[in-house]
Chains A and B, each alone.
Chain A
Amino acid sequence: MKNKKNSRQGLTLKQKEALTGYIFIALPLVSLIIMMYYPIIRSFFISFFDWNLLQEPTFIGVENYKTLFNDEVFRTSLANTIKWVLIYVPMSVISSFLLALLLDRKLKGAGFFRTLYYLPVVCPIVVVALLFVWIYNTDYGILNFILKKLFDIDPVGWLTDSRFSLFSIAVMSVWKWAGYNMLIFLSALQGIDENLYEAAAIDGITPWTKLTKIKIPLVMPSIYFVMLTAVIDAFQMFTEIFIMTKGGPGYSTYTVSYYLWSNAFEYSKMGYACAMAAVMFVIILAVTLIQNKIMNKKVQYDA
């Protein structure tokens, strides 16, 4: 300790500041390297091996990737993820945007409603998933009962019929996340310059033009943000599947994350799971880059 102090006194003020800076970031940086960058590299490395944790890993080159592209279940998982995005994103964006429009006005109790809508967001996903398992129950679920009473619809196997399972989980996710996306849209809407509306009012534009020509274009960056997050989350969706369907019925709700998890931790196929992670990494990176590019263009356009 004493030594260190002596040597520090010999430093210039600038060097001292730099040293302090390095000390301040030291642990986070070490943690970042060990917990993020090293695993990323090792994950790619492992993906070239056949490894079940019991035997020594054997190098097999790109064999895992070859298997992966011919793996029906992986393809189904990928297709399910895309299907999920196509079902979930429009439902989620439209409903949260409508919610934001609804609350973007002087309304008594707007704060209360905002808080209420946000409640599902903070709920643990396990709780929400279990609740919807009960609501969606084919024979005793309240949803089927209501549908029968109101529209005389025969019981639907929301989670047990492969035609509906993905859709049912998407509806639950809209319910859970609408409040979050609404807040993002709301803060974008409230950031719009009042003068724009005044100028528009002088020109006598209709509410519809106001929506399509002012609000939507100016909220576009937030819409992209919400979409990007939804796409990335779709690839990482795990808990909902684990609790609600375990990927079933059949393979109808297998997502890439769930399949990856089951390969790694149920079948101990570490190399294969890492190859899957690598593919996922590349896809998410591509999506992020594309979306960033679009977004930058939009932002410049706004300015």
Chain B
Amino acid sequence: MSKKKRKSLFAYIGVGIVAILVILPFAWMLVSAFKSQRELFAYPPTFFPIEWKVENFIEAASRGSISFWQMFLNTMKIAVPSTVFNIIFSSLAGYAFARLRFPFRDTVFMCFIAAMMVPFAITLIPRFLLFKDLGFYDTYVPLIIPIMFGTPFSIFLTRQFFMTLPKELEEAAIVDGCSHVRIWWQIFMPLCKPIIATLSVFQFQSSYNDFMGPVIYIASDAKFTVQMGLSSFRNSFTSRYDLIMAGSILALIPVVILFICCQKYIVRGIAMSGMKG
């Protein structure tokens, strides 16, 4: 075997071992979800279930304090408006920071950038008190409002992207008396579909996966999000790992679908957020 071939063989072995290490926990989750309770705790454990209990999924979906579907809808009520409005407001601000001249522009922009480094813990309690005083405890408002009007990260990313577009793009439009809103919406936004896709995926994921937010603000069972519901499984079905794993798989499905459809954008997002540091 040539040296080159041997080297790539080693690389394949390495890559394969890591792949197995990544897949195994998922595989274990999947087979556990299909096992009967007796088999789950059998010794020695079997890998594949002897009888595949599909009922576990039905039970996991319906036995919580509210149905899984309802939890999913609740999560959407947070994730969708957060994502959509975040992108609109962030890209508008990003446009202003990239293209318009106004006094204190760079200072204000620095204030946004600085906010990216602030740990959430410092804003946690005053935000909680504020929303509670306004009567928004146990509503989705505290989970949507801080995100929907634009976040520093999204503003930063859209601004960076807009800066790379050539100036000539809007100059003709301005001469024609086109308003900036139209330039933003009809020229810039269509051009930055990739960055919008990246941001949507990120924002959606972070809303969907958020756990601490709902734990702090949501009290009634009927308003549980997927992540909260899943974590409450642990308390209500102690050691029913079959159901916990089945529920986990249900919670994973939307994320995995999104990931497979949009992985191109996710990878790009990493490259750009890495740039930030």
Contacts and interface: CB of A to CB of B under 8 A. Distances in A.
Contact of B119 (A31, A265, A280): A280
A107 B146 contact: no
Interface in A92-120: 99, 102-103, 105, 107, 113-120
A188 B277 CA distance: 12
A281 B267 CA distance: 30
Interface in B188-243: 205, 208-209, 211-212, 215-216, 226-227, 230-231, 233-234, 241
Contacts of B41: 140
Interface stretch (A33-41, A65-73, A193-201): A33-41
A116 B19 contact: yes
Interface in B243-263: 244-245, 248, 251-252, 255-256, 258-259, 263
Contacts of B211: 124-126, 238-239, 242
B136 interface: no
A131 B245 contact: yes
Interface of B: 8, 11-12, 14-15, 18-19, 21-23, 25-26, 28-29, 32, 40-41, 43-45, 89-90, 92-93, 95-97, 100-103, 105, 108, 111-112, 115, 117-130, 145-146, 149-150, 152, 155, 179-180, 184, 205, 208-209, 211-212, 215-216, 226-227, 230-231, 233-234, 241, 244-245, 248, 251-252, 255-256, 258-259, 263, 266-267, 270-271, 274, 277
A153 B215 CA distance: 38
A18 B146 contact: no
Given A277-B121, A277-B125, 7 more contacts: A18-B100, A31-B150, A43-B122, A113-B19, A118-B259, A127-B252, A145-B45
25 contacts: A14-B101, A17-B100, A21-B105, A24-B100, A24-B180, A31-B146, A31-B149, A32-B111, A39-B122, A42-B126, A43-B123, A107-B8, A123-B252, A127-B248, A130-B244, A131-B245, A132-B25, A145-B45, A179-B22, A236-B120, A236-B121, A264-B124, A264-B125, A277-B121, A288-B117
Contacts of A189: none
B255 A35 contact: no
Given A18-B100, A24-B100, A32-B112, A123 B125 contact: no
A35 B101 contact: no
A221 B275 CA distance: 10
A126 B96 contact: no
A22 interface: yes
Interface of A: 14, 17-22, 24-25, 27-32, 34-40, 42-43, 46, 99, 102-103, 105, 107, 113-120, 122-127, 130-135, 137, 140, 142, 145, 175, 179-180, 183-184, 187-188, 221-222, 224-225, 228-229, 232, 235-236, 238-239, 242-243, 256-257, 260-261, 264-265, 270, 273-274, 276-278, 280-281, 284-285, 288, 295
A46 B90 CA distance: 31
Contacts of B129: 42, 270
Given A122-B255, A124-B255, A21 B123 contact: no
Instruction: Give the most central of B103, B255, B277: most A CB within 10 Å.
Output: B277
A102 B215 contact: no
Nearest to A127: B248
B96 A25 contact: yes
B22 to A, nearest CB: 6
A242 B231 CA distance: 9
A43 B120 CA distance: 11
Contacts of A35: 123, 127, 145-146
A183 B267 contact: yes
Nearest to A126: B227
A187 B263 contact: no
What are the 6 A-B residue pairs with the smallest beta carbon separation, nearest first?
A: A28-B150, A31-B149, A21-B102, A24-B96, A39-B126, A225-B277
B32 to A, nearest CB: 7
Given A135-B28, A277-B122, A238 B212 contact: yes
Contacts of B152: 32
A14 B102 CA distance: 8
A153 B245 CA distance: 26
Contacts of A37: 111, 115
A53 to B, nearest CB: 8
A102 B25 CA distance: 22
Given A25-B108, A260-B121, A277-B121, A243 B103 contact: no
